[in-house]
Amino acid sequence: MLHKILKLTVKDVRFPTSLEQHGSDAMHTDPDYSAAYVVLDTDSGAKGFGLTFTLGKGTEIVLCAVKALAGLVIGKSLEEIVSDFRGFYRLLTSDGQMRWLGPEKGVVHLATAAILNAVWDLWARAEGKPLWKLLVDMDPKRLVSCIDFRYITDVLTEEEALDILMKAQQGKQQREDQMLREGYPAYTTSCAWLGYSDQQLKQLCADALKSGWTKFKVKVGADLEDDLRRCRLIRQMIGPTNTLMIDANQKWDVGEAISWVSSLAEFKPLWIEEPTSPDDILGHATISKALAPLGIGVATGEQCHNRVMFKQFLQAEALQFVQIDGCRLGSVNENLAVLLMAHKFQVPVCPHAGGVGLCELVQHLILFDYICVSASLTNRMCEYVDHLHEHFTSPVVICGACYTPPKDPGYSCEMLESSVQRHEYPGGDVWKLHATK
């Protein structure tokens, strides 16, 4: 069956998370976790669901970009798209007029990700497999054919990518079986949002420890004395052997980042995440070099525009942990390129997740990375945030602080229709109620 795409709809779905300070950090003090939510309808009745993540205001701009790209998708069949996925990716990212709004960055790239996520979801559903399994079972040559290597061949050629995938065939089945038994290691950010009180932090941390969590991330960057107190509190709670990470969400200048993190070194953080502007590759390199003697790595990537920036971060030795995102890059296609480059440079991948649907998406990518690319769990974990999963038809399952591989066909980002209706902005019941307060 060809699954010709007849219609693309996109909705502005927002959750008022700012009311309880969920997601709050040094730069994003009042986020309303939101999504531009795409549905593809086909002539066969099959549907594809995709999204890109936002923080509330501005989601309507992403919707405009999705609608502007829709004409490149409607009328094409799934078979036509996936038989030349690289060509389709380039069609979306290189339209002669639309690319002026990027290229391959910002709002137009978020829109591209939402559409492509829906296409990958449709493909996985058509094959009756969860997305991670579709990728794991795919012939390496076909996988490579999904990637646009333009601008990265000085670091990774098509031949090198194929060689990495072929070498990883050894032990692949054992790793897949291991993931099905044990799941993929996760860490939690849910305990220590910047807007949480110390009492709330203590309670959430105690609950997490009881549930088996051993890796914790703390938001920092607003006030040094506050950070010292909160890091001391959480280090005392989790003990000396559990893992602690800190995240400044782009708050500091380069020199300030080095000084501030050095002051927090006594708490033995594994990494400092997003210490400065996400665009400052050389600044990250300077920070990485300065913090190396303290045993603190640099992690970034959730707002890294595209594979070209990741290429340069890796070339400059500017990060020690790569943080891919299911919606910031151009969907699975571009994330595959980054996973392969990270493997070549031997830098571990620890995906960014949380938000609306990000956990649901990246679990597929990191399972594929372990089974078919890196074959390593050393210094590797996937972020988990315990918010909003109840709004999805196939929510993530965490067992023993690990992601359980999804079993349902697709990319796990279909929302419950009742949730979409209630949270659609501005006309959904939740927002009508919010407007009257």
Helix 331-344 and helix 358-369, axial crossing angle in degrees, nearest 10: 40
Of 11, 47, 217, 219, catalytic: 219
314: which residues sit within 8 A by CB, 6+ positions away? 155, 322, 341, 342, 345, 347
Among residues 25, 93, 81, the alpha carbon closest in space to that of 249 is found at 25
What lies within 8 Å, CB to CB, of 83 at 6+ separation is none
**Residue 219: active-site member:** yes
Active-site residue, selected from the candidate residues 11, 251, 352, 423: 352
- Give the DSSP per-residue string, 257-325: HHHHHHHTGGG--SEEES-S-TT-HHHHHHHHHHHGGGT-EEEE-TT--SHHHHHHHHHTT--SEE---
Say if residue 91 is exposed, middle or buried (CB neighbours under 10 Å; 0-12, 13-18, 19+): middle
Q: Is 352 in the active site?
A: yes
For residue 31, whether the previous peptide bond is cis, meaning omega lies within 30 degrees of 0, is no
What 8-state DSSP symbol labels residue 129?
S
Angle, helices 281-291/307-315, rounded to nearest 10 degrees = 40
Calpha distance 29→26 (Å, rounded): 6
Residues paired with residue 322 on neighbouring β-strands, in sequence order: 300, 349
* Closest CA relative to residue 11, chosen from 50, 44, 38: 38
Kindly report the backbone phi and psi dihedral angles of residue 7, in degrees, each rounded to the nearest multiple of 5, phi listed first: -150, 145
- Exposure on the CB side of residue 317, measured as CA atoms within 13 A: 6
Q: ∠ CA(21), CA(105), CA(54), 5° rounding?
A: 20
User: CB-based burial of residue 316 (10 Å sphere; 0-12 exposed, 13-18 middle, 19+ buried)?
Assistant: middle
Quick one: which of 413, 315, 326 has its CA closest to 366? Answer: 326
The owner of tokens 């090198």 is: 160
Residues acting as catalytic residues = 219, 352
